[in-house]
Amino acid sequence: MKRVTINDIAKELKVTPSTVSRALAGNTRVSVKTRELVAAKAKEMGYQQNVIASALRKGKSDTIGMVVPRINRHFFSHVISGVEEILNPAGYSLVICQSGESFLKEQKAIDMLLANQVGGIIISLSEKTKCFDHLQKLVDRNIPLVQFDRVHNEISCSKILNDNFNGAYLATKHLIKSGYKRIGHVGGSQSLKAYRERYLGYSKAIEEEGLPVDSALVYTDAITRESGYNTAIKALSSVKPDALFCAGDYCALGVIDALKEKNISVPDEFGVVGFANEPFAELMAPTLSSVEQNGFEMGTRVASAMIKDIEGKYKEEVEVIPTRLIVRESSWNK
């Protein structure tokens, strides 16, 4: 069964393909009558535009590429949903790639998207990304780019951010108010602004309350469950904190694993707060206090910024989405 092309429609209607193309695009240079005729015939014959041919000719497509570290993170999957919410009705489609926190895979994903002539790229950087040439290339080639959450500031494009600073600040403040005395921080790679800000929010709160800022209490390797566990084990046998503010929930989970193993009671002897409010946070035992990010709203903002960029409206918007502290058992000290 052959696909129907505009040439087929043109033949049937005894007009030229150019007219059909214009008619379908709603060009006012073709008369209303012809436009209706074409539309009807196209429907009748089951015409589907060949977006490949269109993209080749126009040099770009209505497909937007999106690169995220992992799609199975609560936050990212919600951002994706938010992006689809705006993009799909606007006639764009979305291609999703995972970098898996690997710089190489991130680069490859971008190359693939470029080879596919995507109309724009949305990205949240991998934790391992320390070089940003691949982003600069996009800017140089004039390809609409929007960064979100894990962004690099030096790249000139729209950026949609979480209020990491305030979330971390509130979380730490809350730990202090709950009576913990030696509050440490398990953070992510400091090359990412998002994690730097969480660290800054943490230290601001510590300073503000007149507590000693002890760099021995700050760890910034990775924020997986495993690294959280390892960090906690290490800290417990050396600097002995009595609370940890973690830059991620999986990391907090690992910390709690370690505390359980050492028979240290949460929250009585030790307080823990995470970040991201993963679904498991309210289900685990003890339930985990966490900083909530509004992924869906972020997604809608990201998509809007992308559309604006594509339409040439403007290119360098920076928006901050508020975060919110959710207090649960893991830091409920009395």
* Residue whose pair of structure tokens reads 């990212």 in the numeric block: 76
Minimum CB separation from DNA for residue 124, in Å?
30
**Which of 12, 39, 54, 296 touches DNA (CB under 7 A)?**
54
Which residue type, as a one-letter code, is found at position 189?
Answer: S
Measured from the CB atom, the residue of 160 and 288 that comes closer to its own copies is 288
The CA distance from 164 to 247, in Å, is 9
The residue within the footprint of DNA, chosen from 1, 11, 12, 21 (CB under 7 A), is 21
Q: Which is nearer to its own copies, 239 or 286 (CB)?
A: 286
**Binder of its own copies out of 52, 104, 131, 213 (CB under 8 A):** 52
Q: Is 24 in the site for its own copies (CB under 8 A)?
A: no
Distance CA 127, CA 123 (A): 12
Residues of this chain, 266-285, that bind its own copies according to CB under 8 A: 279-280, 283-285
- Tell whether residue 61 is a contact of DNA (CB under 7 A): no
114: closest CA among 152, 84, 144, 92? Answer: 144
Interactions with its own copies, residue window 211-250 (CB under 8 A): none
Cα distances from 47 to residues 20, 33, 231, 239, 264, in angstroms, run: 11, 19, 59, 69, 67
Report the first-to-last Cα separation within the chain, whole angstroms. Answer: 71
Q: Which of 86, 37, 26 is nearest to 303 (CA)?
A: 86
- Least distance (Å) from DNA to the CB of residue 89? 19
Residue 25 binds its own copies, judged by CB under 8 A: no
Query: Per CB under 7 A, does 43 bind DNA?
Result: no
- Measured distance CA(58)–CA(208) in Å, rounded: 56
Interface with its own copies by CB under 8 A: which residues? 1, 48-53, 55-56, 61, 63, 70-72, 74, 77-78, 80-81, 84, 88, 93-98, 100, 108, 111-112, 114-117, 140-141, 253, 279-280, 283-285
